[in-house]
A and B are shown apart, each in its own frame.
Chain A
Amino acid sequence: MKYSDIKEHLGKFKVGIAGAGGLGSNCAMALARCGVGKLIICDNDVVERTNLNRQYYFEKQAGKLKCEALKENIELACSDVIVEIHNILLDPENIPSVFSDCDIIVEAVDNSETKEMIIKAVQATMPATPLIIGSGVAGWDNTGNLRSRKIDDTLYVCGDEESEVSDDLPALAPGVSIVANMQADLVISLLLNIKR
């Protein structure tokens, strides 16, 4: 399949991204570069200098809302992608409305309890929408254990499902970006199999 055909096909789809940190910012950027037509990005955090070791932001954006900074960065790279941003804290009530007609949703938050909440909400209210989780991104020298795994038609997981962040095992640009890009690769693989 030629890139021009891929871009034309992906342009018909809308992907939701829950979180604009290390996973979300890198995943969104990859999806935009591939040609996904519309991205819905939710995050209520601001860019901090400590985020710059792994998140797709720049020093001058410190203090800015992540969803606004990410929209800015995506539009610098790919001005034809439509980026819709929501500066909100996701909860079980707002998840079905902000992501309502997304073709696929990417879970890209950092906290495991929030990951659980998102999985429960999406599977309960949008049972037909595939959800791609990131789990186990911390550390280094571990790329051989990072994988993407299908649970069923509606749930996929990328990461090693083992490495949790801690003071001595931080999330760093290589590991987080690899998992974010595995999520993006899975998104485009699924979308390329949908006829539209």
Chain B
Amino acid sequence: MKITINNREEEFDRDKLTVNEMLELKRFTYKLRIVKVNGKLIPREEYDSTYIYNKDDVQMLYLMSGG
């Protein structure tokens, strides 16, 4: 399937992925992040139960302490 992650097209050899599987495959390691799938904010507790499908739009941002 093809999805976009932060406006970049990415291809995965799968029909669907949970948010956590996608994060592991992409080796996104920072501990605190915001994930939106098709504009909907996905809470951390739902990373294992929320699926990403072909053509989905994933947006991520990392939250760093400091201000």
Asked if A and B are interacting partners, one says yes
- A141 beta carbon closer than 8 Å to chain B: no
Please tell me if the beta carbons of B64 and A108 are within 8 angstroms of each other in the complex: no
CB nearest neighbor in B for A124: B41
25 A-B pairs in the complex with CB atoms less than 8 angstroms apart: A22-B66, A24-B67, A109-B67, A110-B66, A111-B65, A112-B32, A116-B32, A116-B34, A116-B63, A119-B41, A123-B41, A133-B61, A135-B61, A135-B62, A136-B62, A136-B64, A137-B66, A151-B36, A157-B61, A161-B62, A161-B64, A162-B62, A162-B64, A163-B64, A164-B65
What is the 8 Å Cβ interface bit string for chain B, positions 25-39, against chain A (1 contact, 0 not)?
000000010101001
CB distance from A83 to the nearest CB of B (A): 20
Main DSSP-derived SS at the A contact region: mixed
Interface string of B54-66 (1 = CB under 8 A from A): 0000010111111
Interface of B is mostly: loop
Q: Which residues of B contact A111 (CB under 8 A)?
A: 65
A134 to B65, CA, bound (A): 9
Contacts of B36 in A (CB 8 A): 151-152, 155
A residues touching B (Cβ–Cβ < 8 Å)? Answer: 19, 21-24, 108-113, 115-116, 119-120, 123-124, 133-138, 149, 151-152, 155, 157, 159, 161-165, 171, 176
A161 contacts which chain B residues (CB < 8 A)?
61-62, 64
CB-based nearest A residue for B65? A112
Q: How many angstroms from the CA of A163 to the CA of B63 in the assembled complex?
A: 10
Q: Can you name the residue of chain B whose Cβ is closest to the Cβ of A110?
A: B67
User: Which residue of the partner chain, among A120, A123, A152, A176, contacts B66 with CB atoms under 8 Å?
Assistant: A176
